[in-house]
Structure formats: C-alpha cells, structure tokens
C-alpha cells in the first residue's frame, strides 16, 4: 500500500538534526517551555509578523483566545461547517453559539458573500478556516469584521506556510492559530500548536492563561489552564523548519502534477484561488461524482484516500442541539458526499505519483 503521508521518510532525512535537538533537551532538562520553545516562538513571530505564543495543541490555540476575550454565554461566532470538528467544538465548549455559513463549492472554504447575512447583534466574531492549506479571501473577512466591530480569527491549522496576497497565513487576521499535529504540513511528534496575535497585550494575556494564569511564578492573575508546549516537540519543529520551504515547494509540485492530469469532469480538483501565492497542500482534494465507489476501487489497487469531511459539523450528533437539519447548508452537505483526498507529502517520488495517477485514471474509466 502506498502511504498516505510518510513521516518515517521525513525522519530518516532529518534524523541527525532531530536527534541532536532532542538530545540537547535531555541534557538541559528544560522539558516544558524551554529553550526550543522560545526559539520556535521567535521564529514564528518573525515569520508571520505577529506575537507568536506556543501552546499544547491546535484545539487549544483556538480555545484560549476565545476564552481570554471573556465572551458571554450565547454570544455568536460565525464559522464554516466544513472543517475539522475542533473549530466549532471550542465555540460550543465555551458555551458560545456556532453560527454556520455555507461554503463555496469551488474551494470548500467559507462563502464570504453569505457572512454578513449571518451577523446579528449577538455576533462577536468570525473564525475563518484555511481549508486544506489555502486561505479564503482574508482581507475581505477582515473588512467585514472591522465594519461590524467583531473579531476575525484565522484557523490556520491546515495552512501554515501558505501565502495569501504576499502575506503569510497566520499573519493576516488580528488573531490566528495553527496546529503541529504530526500529519499537518508542519507537524511535530505529538500534539502542539501556535497562536499568533497582532496585539502584544492580548498575546501576553493568552500566554498567561495557558500557564495557569500566572503572570510570574505562583502569582496567578487569571483562572487559566495548563496548555503549555513541550520543549522536545519544539525541538523537533526547529529541526524541521530549515527544510520547510523546500517541502512546501515539493508539495506544490506534486499538487500541480495532479492538477495537470485530472481534467475529467468525473474528478475535479478544488480551485486554487488567484490570490493564493502559495498553497500549503495539507490535502490534495478532488470532487468526485461516485466518490465512495472510486474510494473503494482505489483501495483495492493499494491507493489510500481520505474523506475530509464526510459529515459537515451542523449534522454532527454533538451539535444536534443547534437544531440544524439536513438541507440547511446544502453546499457543505453536497461536498461531504463528493470530496476525496489523494496522498500528498514532500517525500513522494514522481514514480509513486505516476502510479497513483494511473490508478485514478483507470478507476475513473469504470465509473
Ligand atoms: C481546521 C482545524 N482546526 C483545528 C484543528 C485542531 O488541531 P489539533 O488536532 O492540533 O488540536 C485541526 C486539526 O486537526 C484542524 O484541521
């Protein structure tokens, strides 16, 4: 079976640097928020032009800023129903109300033209999601947020490394967040995340809340949580970062290799926006008419695929209390029946990609 992603090949390629960084942590014993965490935050701040604060996961990187804003129960947060559950989960967990706006069928990102209709006097913010590695039109969402005096948080869990109109994903909205889950374009060996802030004071507040609300040791200014980041995981990222530009370039090459050949109406690649200077290609996704059959046939041929996402969030049992029925967000529901992601990772050889392409073309002839 062809691997869907290949973290082992990546480890073998960077083994010396990764092992050395980890070994240095073991020698220093600064396991939590140690030297590599500080270095990583500095790197991330410079890269995005924000105040970057490391955190335990992508989920917590969404949760902590929302919590720190002190929103009230029932306050409304607009987001997309076509994302990983965490995006809306944190909203619901904090007793805020997720308000879903349907998606654009070309990109599967939020349909920006529908956002303003969803704004009410209780709306406090918009969480945009840069799905599969491509941002939506972030400037337009910023404009809506400013006009209505609400916040815009970019969930960049899948798009770290993407460039939108010359600007880095993670550095465009007033708050952004990302995930270093192992399978993400920039992943560590375990859970991890980063928050990005334009406002230095709010960054300091969130950094304190994720560390039991401490302003200094044993002085607790806020009621917070333990959502700290581990040094070994930062060490892994610091070892991977010097290679990241090259990895992103390779992802672009592979994506282009797919997009150049998949021209049949039976399998349509998601659109690459003209404002996308670089796509992070967390997923390479096609819209396929007989998706489940194509998936099964590819599986038989040893080509793994994935479905992101088979059920939009408004139809998840945990969010049934919102009362949104099937048919309420038709584009997201339709896409959940069509999307199919193919293997993509920077260590995929051209030969492997050609085998995948051949199998996909063969299977498409059968449906
Ligand atoms: C869009 C999106 N938001 C949030 C998350 C949550 O990140 P994590 O798994 O690091 O908590 C993920 C990743 O799984 C994601 O894809």
- Same domain for 282 and 237, yes or no, is no
Q: Is the CB of 86 under 6 A from ligand 1?
A: yes
Q: 155: Cβ below 6 Å to ligand 1?
A: yes
Q: Is the CB of 156 under 6 A from ligand 1?
A: no
Q: Is residue 2 part of a domain?
A: no
For the CA of 130, the closest atom of ligand 1 is 1
**Same domain (yes/no): 232, 292:** no
Question: What ligand 1 atom has the least distance to the C-alpha of 191?
Answer: 10
Co-location of 65 and 179 in the same domain: yes
**Closest C-alpha to 244, from 170, 184, 181, 175:** 184
Split at pLDDT 50, 70, 90, the class of 15 is: very high
| CATH assignment of the domain containing 51 | 3.40.640.10
Residue 347 and residue 316 share a domain: yes
Residues 265, 148, single domain; the answer is no
Pocket flag, ligand 1, residue 58 (CB < 6 Å): yes
Residue 1 placed within a domain = no
| Cα 366 to ligand 1 centroid, rounded to whole Å | 35
Mean pLDDT of 44-72: 98
Structure tokens at 154: 């970019």
Average pLDDT, the chain: 98
CA of 177 to the centre of ligand 1 (A): 9
**Residue 217 placed within a domain:** yes
Is 148 inside a domain boundary? yes
- Of 222, 242, 262, the residue at which a domain comes to its end is 242
pLDDT digits (tens, 9 = 90+) for 242-269: 999 999 999 999 999 999 999 999 999 9
Pair (203, 292) in one structural domain: no
pLDDT band (50, 70, 90) for residue 349: very high
For residue range 139-169, list pLDDT tens digits in order: 999 999 999 999 999 999 999 999 999 999 9
Residue 152 lies in a domain: yes
Write the CA distances from 71 to 86, 149, 152, 253, 314, integer angstroms: 18, 14, 14, 43, 22
- Omega before 346 cis (within 30°)? no
Considering Cα of 41, then 46, then 47, then 48, what sign does the dihedral take? positive
Residue 269's domain spans which residues?
243-366
Q: Which CATH number fits the domain that encloses residue 269? A: 3.90.1150.10
Note whether 212 and 344 are same-domain residues. no
- Residue 110: per-residue pLDDT: 98
Q: Into how many domains does the chain fold?
A: 2
Residues 290 and 162 in one domain: no
Q: How far is the CA of 134 from the centre of ligand 1 (A)?
A: 15
206 lines ligand 1 (CB under 6 A): no
The residue whose CA is least distant from atom 10 of ligand 1 is 58
């Amino acid at each position: 079976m062809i691997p869907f992603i290949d973290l082992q090949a990546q480890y073998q390629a960077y083994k010396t640097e990764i092992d050395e960084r980890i070994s240095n942590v073991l020698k220093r014993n600064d396991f939590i928020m140690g030297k590599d965490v500080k270095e990583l935050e500095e790197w991330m701040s410079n890269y995005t032009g924000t105040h970057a604060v490391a955190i335990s996961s992508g989920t917590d990187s969404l949760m902590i800023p929302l919590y720190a804003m002190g929103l009230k129960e029932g306050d409304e947060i607009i987001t997309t129903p076509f994302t990983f559950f965490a995006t809306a989960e944190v909203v619901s967990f904090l007793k805020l109300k997720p308000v879903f706006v349907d998606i654009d069928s070309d990109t599967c990102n939020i349909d920006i033209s529908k956002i303003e209709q969803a704004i009410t006097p209780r709306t406090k913010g918009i969480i945009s999601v840069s799905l599969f590695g491509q941002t939506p039109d972030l400037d337009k969402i910023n404009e809506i947020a400013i006009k209505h005096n609400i916040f815009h948080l970019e969930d960049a869990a899948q798009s770290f490394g993407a460039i939108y109109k010359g600007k880095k994903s993670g550095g465009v909205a007033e708050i952004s967040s990302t995930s270093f889950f192992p399978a993400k374009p920039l992943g560590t060996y375990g859970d991890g995340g980063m928050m990005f802030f334009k406002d230095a004071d709010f960054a300091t507040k969130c950094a304190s809340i994720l560390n039991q609300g401490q302003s200094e040791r044993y002085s607790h200014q806020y009621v917070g949580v333990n959502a700290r980041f581990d040094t070994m995981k930062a060490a892994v990222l610091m070892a991977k970062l010097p290679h990241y530009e090259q990895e992103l370039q390779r992802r672009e090459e592979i994506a282009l290799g797919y997009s150049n050949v998949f021209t049949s109406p039976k399998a349509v690649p998601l659109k690459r926006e003209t404002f996308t200077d670089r796509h992070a290609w967390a997923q390479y996704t096609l819209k396929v008419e007989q998706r489940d059959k194509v998936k099964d046939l590819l599986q038989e041929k040893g080509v793994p695929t994935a479905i992101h996402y088979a059920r939009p969030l408004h139809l998840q049992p945990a969010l049934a209390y919102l009362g949104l029925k099937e048919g309420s967000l038709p584009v997201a529901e339709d896409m959940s029946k069509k999307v199919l992601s193919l293997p993509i990772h920077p260590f995929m050889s051209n030969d492997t990609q050609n085998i995948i392409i051949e199998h996909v073309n063969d299977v498409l002839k059968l449906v």
